Amino acid sequence: MGSKSGKIRTALAAAGYILPFLVFYTIFTIWPMIQGVYVSLHKWGLMGKIKFVGLSNYSKFIQDKYFWGALRNTAVFTVITVPALMICAIALALLANRAGKLRKLFRTCYYLPNVLSVSVASFTAIYMFAPYRGFINNFLHSLGILAPGSEIQWLQDSRLAWITISSMTIWWTVGFSMMIYLSALQDIPEQIYEAADIDGASKRVQLFRIVLPLLKPTSYLILLLQVIACFKVFGQIYMITGGGPGTGTRPIIQYIYQTAFEKNDMGYSSAISYVLFLILVILSLIQLKVQGKGAKHD
């Protein structure tokens, strides 16, 4: 009997700890999601509901060239940014994991940009890539790559704008992925390196035959996180290019924002949001399936 009452008290205590979280999570996450589905089924403006339209908002995006253009821009940003960011993160983690007196300083310097707000990081990129007075163009002038009087307009061409945005995003966010890789590197037992040294394996062989294979689960995790983050990109693009030139760099989140607050079409923007959510779910499931197959082969 005492054991049963003890279990009841433990369950009640656990419920007491969990209940506040469940209440706030329901109010601020679950309920807005339910309300969003309701809004997506209506023609809905900033002043409220206008009329019920069923699934027409969900079929509307199929013929919406601006939706597909924004989705293509988001995919381009993801394809450019994610691989480069992961390579930089691994390289920085390997450097930060090396023994030395300045190891803590290097880790701090590598991670430091990650604490900046999106506005600070974006305006830093604008000034760095600005023509005439920006650091990048002046540096290229000093190397003789750019002729005197000529300037690269980094933000006036969509291809160059993607280089600017992706470079800024990698510099700004690489510290988070670097720390995850660094944690994984520190979990690799020293005995593995010692055995490799005894067998005569070079550092290069150890990197490609030991370290990188052992980092596969971490790489899958970072890949998933970064793909989701890139598909949700908004702040830095909105501040650096505003989605321009034209709509050449407008991502899907910016299109959702403009549809809702500039075109006063909350219903359609809600429907696009759930289409994006479905795309992310599908991409995540594909990656998890690929990861599961890779684990079986290993």
Strand-pair partners of 52:
42
Q: What is the pLDDT of residues 167-195, one digit of tens each?
A: 999 999 999 999 999 999 999 888 988 88
Return the pLDDT at 294. Answer: 62
User: Which pair of structure tokens corresponds to residue 41?
Assistant: 């089924």
Of the ranges 9-13, 169-173, 205-209, the best mean pLDDT one: 169-173
Backbone angles phi, psi at 144, to 5 degrees: 80, 5
Q: What is the pLDDT of residues 58-104, one digit of tens each?
A: 999 889 999 999 999 999 999 999 999 999 999 999 999 887 777 88
Residue with tokens 């990698």: 170
Instruction: Report whether pLDDT(32) > 80.
Output: yes
The band of 298, judged by pLDDT with boundaries at 50, 70 and 90, is: low
CB atoms within 10 A of CB 25: 12
Best CA proximity match to 105, nearest among 95, 115, 117, 116: 95
* Burial track 173-190 (b if 16+ CB lie within 10 A, e otherwise): bbbbbbbbbbebbeeeee
Instruction: Report whether pLDDT(135) > 70.
Output: yes
Q: Are 250 and 237 in contact (CB under 8 A)?
A: yes
**What percent of the chain has pLDDT above 90?**
63
What amino acid is encoded at 267 in this protein? G
Instruction: Report whether pLDDT(33) > 70.
Output: yes
What is residue 208's DSSP assignment? Answer: I
Q: What is the pLDDT of residues 223-260, one digit of tens each?
A: 999 999 999 999 999 999 999 899 999 999 999 999 99
Instruction: Report whether pLDDT(2) > 60.
Output: no
Q: Are 47 and 39 in contact (CB under 8 A)?
A: no
Best CA proximity match to 134, nearest among 169, 142, 158: 142
Whole-number average pLDDT of the chain: 90
Q: How many residues belong to the chain?
A: 298
The H or E element that residue 43 is part of is: strand 42-45
- Distance, CA of 54 to CA of 203 (rounded, Å): 61
